[in-house]
Structure 1
Amino acid sequence: MQAPFVTVKTQDVPIYKDFAGQTFGELDIQLIARVDGILTGIHFKEGQKVKKGQLLYTIDPLEYETKVEQVRGQVAAAQSVLANADEELKRIRPLATMNAVSKRELDAAVAKDKAAKSNYASVQANLRNQELERSYCNIISPIDGVIGLSNARLGDYITKMGNASQLNTVSKLDKVRVQFTVSESDYLKYQKRTKQGETITDLQLILSDGSIHPEKGTLNFSDTKIDPTTGTVTIEAQFPNPDGTLRSGQFGKVRVLIRTEKNAIVIPQKAVTEIQGLFQVSIIDDKNTIETRMVEVGQKIGVDWIITKGLKANEKVAIIGNQFIQPGSVVVPIPYVADKKQIISSKND
């Protein structure tokens, strides 16, 4: 009877672990209305790139322009009063020196000049405030980035209070942040490795369709506290996004290289039989006889399994599968050929 087999070899095996995560822009800046009014202009296409300083929204400025003109009139009047007070003080001060006018008249002129200066400064500040309010009618992009879907439409009445003030979001997507949570025990292991001088540099982003983002990521930071309700801590990684395929709000998995098993023994899972929590394999000895041996298993790697105890290098392990081969049977060994489709599927899991 034929029996497919694999020859036991040792190899360094990278151990990965996947964590569910969500993407965010390098910057996600909300566009918030700071004045009330009718939305009269939308100057962009949703989902498109925008430039820093680009006009995005216009709120009807008529009310605010009117206020600016009113205050400009007050500034002009205050300036005139200040000029008169200043001239009056310049006229009285020399006369007071010569005792041609009383000290009371000088004090009154000084007080009038100070009041005029104070009033002029006040209305100038009011003008700057009104001009600032007017400028808020034009909402511009604070960064180069990608703009999302608008929460407001032409003709809507915009207010600066509550959710109605949130018009849109501009995201900088040259890089994306991915936040994911890990258990407290995994976090403590990571901390121990960090203290020993190790760094986690092999981070991959697995997208929702199973594809792998071509750029490797780096760790940004971990939260300062562990969530007591879930026993997890939030960690953030950053991934380059040069072609702009990643957007804010996507879900995926962050694959982290946890460690590398040195000189590990790895065999196909098909070669391992589990009976009531005990694991065994079938060995083909030098006389091509089947021998059953108990083993201890470690982590599964795709379609393979790490064997931590019970096997040595260069031994032949039979892939019996559904065949009924009794221990002690003599077999004809043939090399085992793995199913390529199954290997590809396991890599995408």
Structure 2
Amino acid sequence: MNIRYLILTTALGIALLASCKQQGKENAAPPPTPVAITEAKTADAVYYDPFQGTVVALNSVELRSQVSGFITGIFFKEGEVVPKGKELYEIDRRKYIAAYEQAKANLASANANLIKAQKDADRYSFLLKQDAVARQTYDQAVAALATNQAQVAVAKAGVLSAQTDLSYSIIKAPFTGRIGISQVRLGAQVTPGTTLLNTISTENPIAIDIVVNEQDLPRFYAYQKSSTDSTFKLQLSDGTMYNKPGKIVAIDRGVNNQTGSIKVRVKFANDYDVLKDGMSGVLSVLNNESGERVQIPYKAITEQMGEYFVYTADDTVAHQHKVMIGPRIKDHIVILHGLKAGDKVVTDGFQRLKDGGKITLGKPAQQGAPDAKQQAK
């Protein structure tokens, strides 16, 4: 009986001792976390805001006929640059020439009748002063003179109208520009104002249209008044950068009340015809907040539910700080708010940290898999 009691007491003592040791281990403070730190520094941060845009000609016109008829002449090479006033298309002119000649003949006839009426009026006026003709005869001569004068005016208008129609039968380039592929061929019938013949547009300079939020309007108005060669940078659809500076040429008259946006047009020189009407590109616009900004390594940022945080080192204690980030510049990121130059920022080993956790400088433990980071916007 005593032996059994002794054995039971010994077992209970051993179990109690083991439990106390385990509880002591659990209550012991965890060791400091090895981390790597760096200092937040102020550096020059020049960055741009991207806007999707479309290249547009500053002047583009659809060529349409103002008279009807059949195409009897095409006097250009498709895709070439044509000078202002160059003849491009001819519409069958025969009936317009005939109408013009008839109008001139009508004018000549009206002028002859006017001369006769003027002489009659002068003669009857002289005779009236001599009481050699009735007053009624004189009045009729004066009325005939006025009628012939009106007929001359009508005939002159007819000549002008016929001459205008005749001129419309030759379609000329309204300005110097590149003409496209013809939409009609020889012998095709055209209808006034309806049939599209071709399109001509200017190429140098050329522009790109972007759409911006109304909140950005003051910024773009300021750029319209004053900008530098580095304010606008154009990236082409193949990823290459266009090597000419841009300048705002126009801001649309009003804001779209459905989208709260407005169109801005930026002009570029196009000496070598690199830019073509209708191309797409990305216009990078200098951000107003560019300049001397606090920057830290991008890898020091963590994201939690759309918010961004960093850990700073205060001697042997780490503190978590919410920050507002700017653009990423290579392997660094701009901090707009939340840090100041000189703050010690934890760059490695923060995956195991909590706010107020103990830290020590050293080589951070390697993780089996790196913590996922969301790329900063």
- Answer yes or no: same fold by TM over 0.5: yes
User: Which residue of structure 2 aligns with residue 267 of structure 1?
Assistant: 296
Q: Which has the larger radius of gyration?
A: 2
2:271 maps to 1:239: no
Q: For 1:280-331, what per-residue CA distance to the aligned partner results, in whole angstroms no more than 9, with x for missing partners? A: 5577999xx9978645241123433112334634957646799xxx963623
Q: For 1:171-220, what per-residue CA distance to the aligned partner results, in whole angstroms no more than 9, with x for missing partners? A: 12221232211123333x537x849x985551222221122222221223
User: Which residue of structure 2 aligns with residue 224 of structure 1?
Assistant: 253
Q: Distance in 1 between matches of 2:62 and 2:176?
A: 13
User: Which residue of structure 1 aligns with residue 108 of structure 2?
Assistant: 76
2:333 maps to 1:305: yes
Q: Distance in 2 between matches of 1:48 and 1:150?
A: 12
Please show how residues 43-54 of structure 1 align to structure 2 within 5 Å.
Answer: 43-54=75-86
TM-score (ref. length: structure 1): 0.80
User: Which residue of structure 1 aligns with residue 161 of structure 2?
Assistant: 129
2:59 match: secondary structure: strand
- Please point out which of 252, 255, 263 is paired with 2:281: 252
8 Å contact kept, 2:299–2:347: no
In structure 1, what residue type is equivalent to 2:205? K
User: Which residue of structure 1 aligns with residue 25 of structure 2?
Assistant: none
Deviation at 1:237, TM superposition (A): 1.8
Q: Distance in 1 between matches of 2:159 and 2:320?
A: 90
User: Which residue of structure 1 aligns with residue 235 of structure 2?
Assistant: 206
8 Å contact kept, 1:8–1:266: yes
In structure 2, what residue type is equivalent to 1:44? F
In structure 2, what residue type is equivalent to 1:266? Q
User: Which residue of structure 2 aligns with residue 341 of structure 1?
Assistant: none
8 Å contact kept, 1:200–1:257: no
2:204 maps to 1:174: yes
Please show how residues 54-203 of structure 1 align to structure 2 within 5 Å.
Answer: 54-162=86-194, 164=195, 166-187=196-217, 190=219, 194=222, 199-201=226-228, 202-203=231-232
Unpaired runs of 5+ in structure 2?
1-34, 352-357, 365-377
Taking a change above 3 Å as real, the CA distance of residues 278 and 61 of structure 1, as seen in their structure-2 partners, is closer
Name the stretch that deviates more: 312-321 or 197-206.
312-321
8 Å contact kept, 1:32–1:167: yes
Taking a change above 3 Å as real, the CA distance of residues 278 and 87 of structure 1, as seen in their structure-2 partners, is closer
Taking a change above 3 Å as real, the CA distance of residues 309 and 111 of structure 1, as seen in their structure-2 partners, is same
Q: For 1:134-189, what per-residue CA distance to the aligned partner results, in whole angstroms no more than 9, with x for missing partners? A: 11010001111111222222221111143x2x3222212221232211123333x5
Name the stretch that deviates more: 242-251 or 50-59.
242-251
Q: Distance in 2 between matches of 1:177 and 1:216?
A: 11
Percent identity reads 28
1:174 match: secondary structure: coil
Equivalenced residues, count:
325
Q: For 1:264-287, what per-residue CA distance to the aligned partner results, in whole angstroms no more than 9, with x for missing partners? A: 12234234333555645577999x
Q: Distance in 1 between matches of 2:178 and 2:38?
A: 53
8 Å contact kept, 1:265–1:313: no
Q: Distance in 1 between matches of 2:249 and 2:136?
A: 71
User: Which residue of structure 2 aligns with residue 9 of structure 1?
Assistant: 41
Taking a change above 3 Å as real, the CA distance of residues 130 and 283 of structure 1, as seen in their structure-2 partners, is same
Unpaired runs of 5+ in structure 1?
333-349
User: Which residue of structure 2 aligns with residue 342 of structure 1?
Assistant: none
Question: Runs in 1 of length 4+ with deviation above 4 angstroms?
Answer: 3-8, 197-201, 275-286, 289-295, 314-322
Q: Distance in 2 between matches of 1:51 and 1:127?
A: 29
Taking a change above 3 Å as real, the CA distance of residues 105 and 249 of structure 1, as seen in their structure-2 partners, is same
8 Å contact kept, 2:39–2:341: no
In structure 2, what residue type is equivalent to 1:240? A
8 Å contact kept, 2:54–2:209: yes
1:186 match: secondary structure: helix
Deviation at 1:125, TM superposition (A): 1.2
User: Which residue of structure 2 aligns with residue 343 of structure 1?
Assistant: none
Taking a change above 3 Å as real, the CA distance of residues 319 and 30 of structure 1, as seen in their structure-2 partners, is farther
In structure 1, what residue type is equivalent to 2:338? K
Name the stretch that deviates more: 256-265 or 20-29.
256-265
Deviation at 1:31, TM superposition (A): 1.8
1:209 match: secondary structure: coil
Taking a change above 3 Å as real, the CA distance of residues 268 and 62 of structure 1, as seen in their structure-2 partners, is farther
